[in-house]
Chains A and B, each alone.
Chain A
Amino acid sequence: MRAIFRVARATYYEGWRKRFLNGILVFAILIIGSSWVFTYLQPGAELKMLIDVGLGSIRFFGMLIAVFLGSRLVPDEIEKRTIYTLLSKPVTRMQFLLGKFFGGLATVVSNMALMGLTFYIVFMIKAPQFAQPTEDSPAYKMEFMYENIAKAVLLSFFEMAVVMGIAVVASVVFSWILAAIFSFFVYFTGQMSEFFGHLADPDTGASPVARVVLLTVYRVLPHFENFDVRESILTDVPVIWSYVGMTIGMGVLYITIVLALGYLFFNQREV
């Protein structure tokens, strides 16, 4: 456990020293901080636009950070040959992999927390201007929105944990560039996983082979859209805790699968 913690701590500090990640973070904070500027695009639906751009930016830039950081954690150690020093000490491959994952995750979570905080500040300042309490939209809905937004950010943390896990494991198998491309691909197709399920429906008239393929893709892909609850925030639907809990559970199970796969691949790899 101590070995995992030490590797994680080193990875965390190393993550904060990466300039391109700092660049992404600064850019993300700028975009989130100025998200209210985009509201002019949809007159009459400013609040909706503010939430969508703000939460969308947290997810998007969080994903960029998770992919770029995750896909470089292991290859950098191999490239610099520091992995040999580490693995020759009483650190098992599993401990190394877990330490790298948790260290990277801590970096991503702290980055996302900063983005979330920025969005909260913007929302607290701007939202009351866009949503004047009316008979149709009373003031209590705003408080309700704050809670929903917190839940949305929490779910984004776990979504990025899954993305991070995929990036780390992919980097064990491929070069970091290929791992990053693979992670992006899985993330984007994972956003559409529900469609593969619909397309695999017998009513679509797809051939049995195509249906098997589509159903396999649907079953294997992480369902990233489950982490996205912006629709409920925009339509004033409360996000219930049981749903949040189930989604986090799903994320944890995916991380377990991904790390188990990572361990198996890492064991095969000659380092």
Chain B
Amino acid sequence: MSRSAQKLVAWIVLIGVFIGLQPLNDALSYNRLVLGYARPTPVTKVLQFDAPAMTGIIVGAMMGGFREVAASMLWMKTHSMWHSGEGTKWDHLSLMRMTTLLDPHWLEPWRITAWHCAYNLYVETDDPKEQARLLDMGVNVLKEGISWNPDRFELYFELGWTYFDKIRDYPEAARWLAAAVRFEHPEHIERLIAHAWERLPDMEKALMWYDYCIKRRPSDHTAKGATITIRERYMPAERLVQQRRYDEAAEAVQQYLLVYPTSTLGLHMMGYVYEQAHDYEKALEYWSLAAETLALNHYARYKVAELCERLGWPVPEYASHIYMREQELRKEMAVTHEVN
């Protein structure tokens, strides 16, 4: 074969194989995604040109096989920044985010990053809108972490705990904690779900979860004690509310408030009874009392803001209220978008 003929054959082979390669490449990319072989890649973040995500991907590619090692090194850097007093700086958060993106199956960075946003950075500002944004960031970090680790209880629990302890959005807390108990989990989570419902207050659901705890472990004294308390103190009032005998219900709770005037559950229950009776001013009075009694009772503050809004009064700015309102608005917008 002449040299020019050989060249022609080489070109034909080159072009032919290149064209033939493309469907194979596409099939492999698809298979990797479907079979779960693809390394975690924050594609949506890339599409949003999120700087830490882009850097994480490039570092990941540069490090080739050592993404986990790179993530560990970055994590150690965040530790040293924390201990040198630089923990509240935004650079710290970028490092944390990069760690989560480099090794998304490592749960600790997700948990700590979310905690850092919702707790540490939260107290660095007094602006409720900024605080609400930080709560949103913390929640979103955990939701993203869950998307990478959907079959582990830890991040569901962490998100439930953030809703329970920080945002005090008890229905959301109960929802995420209930998601956590679908997997192998420590038994205290079920009790926490019951606690969330009793603080709402939704005593029937709380009792249902406490009963579940007792069935699961008959020697669960915490659940037994809580069941007795609810049945004695609040269930009579709950039954009276269901019968629309609101004055009697309020009186039933008032008996306990006389003995324990700062009882959070008692105050919540009174607020709930008056809300059911459509006596919003009276309900506001009790929710305000609950908010003043306990510095961290963000749920009571949320209720205060909600009732002020309902009464057409000036709405005080509370981070948890701003956050929950935004979430409600987002849900409404999503529903409207879906309907349209």
Contacts and interface: CB of A to CB of B under 8 A. Distances in A.
Interface stretch (B41-49, B210-218, B295-303): B41-49
Given A235-B105, A253-B17, A52 B69 contact: yes
Binding site secondary structure of chain A: helix
A64 to B, nearest CB: 10
Nearest to A204: B47
B29 A194 contact: yes
Nearest to A221: B25
A204 B11 CA distance: 35
A167 to B, nearest CB: 16
A198 B43 contact: yes
Contacts of B18: 257
Contacts of A197: 29
Nearest to A191: B61
B31 interface: yes
Interface string B57-73: 11011101111110010
Nearest to A205: B47
A56 B64 contact: yes
A231 B21 contact: no
Interface residues of B, number: 45
Interface residues of A, number: 58
Given A53-B68, A136-B184, A191-B64, A231 B28 contact: no
B58 A250 contact: no
Contact of A264 (B11, B43, B64, B65): B11
Interface of A: 38, 41-42, 45, 48-49, 52-53, 55-60, 63, 94, 135-136, 188-189, 191-192, 194-195, 197-199, 201, 203-204, 219, 223, 225-226, 228-232, 234-235, 237, 239-240, 243, 246-247, 249-250, 253-254, 256-257, 260-261, 263-264, 267
Given A42-B72, A52-B68, A232-B35, 14 more contacts: A53-B69, A56-B64, A192-B57, A194-B29, A194-B38, A197-B29, A223-B28, A231-B39, A240-B35, A243-B31, A250-B25, A253-B17, A253-B24, A260-B13
